[in-house]
Every structure is written in structure tokens, then in C-alpha cells.
Structure 1
Amino acid sequence: MITREATEQDLPVLLEFEQGIVSAERPFNSTLIDGEIHYYDLLHLIRSEEALVLVTEEENEIIASGYALVKKPGNNYSNFDRYAYLGFMYVKPEHRGKGVNKLILDELISWAKSKDISEIRLDVYAQNESAVKAYEKAGFEPLLVTMRMKT
């Protein structure tokens, strides 16, 4: 397996992965609209100096993805002035449980550290217990739970 920066030529596969993420998240989020959803501007992320989009390949097949994006906290009371936001974490179902996501996480965290970023964040559905456990094993800890009510 190799992990490398994504290129524009990878977009067709990455767009499939995006729909895989949407499908995986539908059971956790009843507010998602039906049909195709695009969470990410993948082309912009691939081209951005403030982002790193990675893919993992095995035998010339892209099997996983993830990105880190440098963001500002959006307030004036955090003890950091920027952080790396991780997203687009996807591993093809037949390759899950092999440590592929950890490879991508490690590379993204290293990239953030190389930019002197000490705060790294990501979002995960609280009900997605396997993902929560995987991120906790990688060193993440819960910070905030978003609550909602439909009236």
C-alpha cells in the first residue's frame, strides 16, 4: 500500500467515495436530502495550498481517502489561531479493518505538525461507534455533541 497526494485525475474515484460517505452517514442523519449530495469541493481542496488530500492505493487501485484543511477557529477566545480540520475519511468496505484509515490519519497529522499546527479536529456522528472508537484509538477525544430537535 502507498499513500500519496490526490490529483485531478483521481476525481472520478473520489466522487464515488464521496457518495460512499453519504450512504454511510444516512442512517445517522435523517436530515440529509434524498439523492446525490456533494459535501466537498474536491477540486478546490486538491489545488489548495491550505489543504492536503490523500489517497491510499493498493495494486494500482485507490482504496481510501482523507483530507486536512487549515482553518481559523471563527472566534477570538480559542487558545490557537488555526487548526487542521480532517474530513473525507473513506476506506472501501473490502479494505476496512486493515489499518488503512490509520495510515491516512498519521500522514495528515504529520502534515499538520509540519505546518506548526497543534490543534486537529474532525466530526464524527456520535452513534457511529466504530468510527468514534477508531478516532479515540488514534488519540482524538470528544469535545462537543451537537443536539437537535425536530418540531
Structure 2
Amino acid sequence: MEINKIDISTRYATHADLPKLGKFLQMLVEAERPFNPTLKDGEIFYYDLKTLIEDEQTAILVIEFNAEIVGCGYAQIRSAKAYERHELFGYLGFMFVSPEFRGKGINKLLINDLKQWVLSKGITELRLDVYHDNDAAVKAYEKVGFKKLLTTMRCDIS
């Protein structure tokens, strides 16, 4: 599918977007299941999307192509640990692009807009979590400047 940049726009999510965002959230969960054996079966809600839309410390953005939502993500202002150099940082989450729109620069556009929102709050530290074995996502984030920092490890001892 050819995408004309003129047909793409970014905007803040609204309550009217909740049904579509809910579908995206379940698609994201399904995409992440192979990387996390600890996830419960059935629907999982990582976030309360309504609360995030209303939160002044969070910006949920949606990407539209020809007036159809094809991607989303949020930036949230969070407190850093007492031992870190910065007091606050921006955290990215709920990064999702519809499968048919992947590889077309939409994720980069979304991250750039989220970065601008975080910068507008006077914050220059930006973080996100990604499954270590999710090579496609890791590469996508590295392409826009992220570097690996910490690996969470687990062990089933039953």
C-alpha cells in the first residue's frame, strides 16, 4: 500500500476513540504473547485507556490515514528513581501500528510527535519497554535513537 504523507495526521486521542483503541490493545497483547509466557489467557488490559486520555501527565496520540486510525501510542511523565540524574522522564507505551501500515514510517512519525510533547514539558530523558526477543520492535526503536539499557530476567522455579 502506498502512503502519501498528506493523508497522514497525528492527533490527541478522545473518548470517541476508545473502541478502536481497545481493539488495538488486544491486538498488541496478542502480538506480545509469544514473548511473555506469564500473560494470562483471554483479554488483558495493560492500561485504563479512559484514565490515560484524561490524565494531564499523559498524551495518547493516534495516527490517522485517510481519517482512519491506524496507530497509537502514549507518552507519560514519570518520576525517576532518587539515584538517577534526572527527576522526571518521559515514558512511551501502547506503541501500536496496524499490521498493514508497518514499515511505512508511521512509528517514527508517532515517536517524533510524542518526543515533541515530552520536550514541551522540559524533559529530555525518554524511555520505553520492549521484549528482548521482539527483534522487529527493538530495531524500530533503535532506528529512532533508543539504546538498550537494562534486561529483565525471569525464571520459573516450579
Judge same fold: TM > 0.5, yes or no. Answer: yes
Name the structure 1 match of 2:88. 82
TM-score, normalised with respect to structure 1 = 0.98
Q: 2:23 aligns with which of 16, 25, 35?
A: 16
Name the structure 2 match of 1:101. 107
Inter-partner Cα distance in structure 2 for 1:101 and 1:31: 27
Name the structure 1 match of 2:134. 128
Inter-partner Cα distance in structure 2 for 1:76 and 1:87: 22
Tell me how far 1:97 sits from its aligned partner: 0.7
Tell me how far 1:72 sits from its aligned partner: 0.4
Tell me how far 1:46 sits from its aligned partner: 0.6
Q: 2:53 aligns with which of 43, 46, 51?
A: 46
Aligned length: 150
Structure 2 gap ranges (5+): 1-7
Structure 1 gap ranges (5+): none
Q: Does 1:113 align with 2:113?
A: no
SS in 1 for 2:26: helix
Q: Which amino acid aligns with 2:72?
A: S
Q: Which amino acid aligns with 2:96?
A: Y
RMSD (Å), alpha carbons: 0.6
TM-score, normalised with respect to structure 2 = 0.94
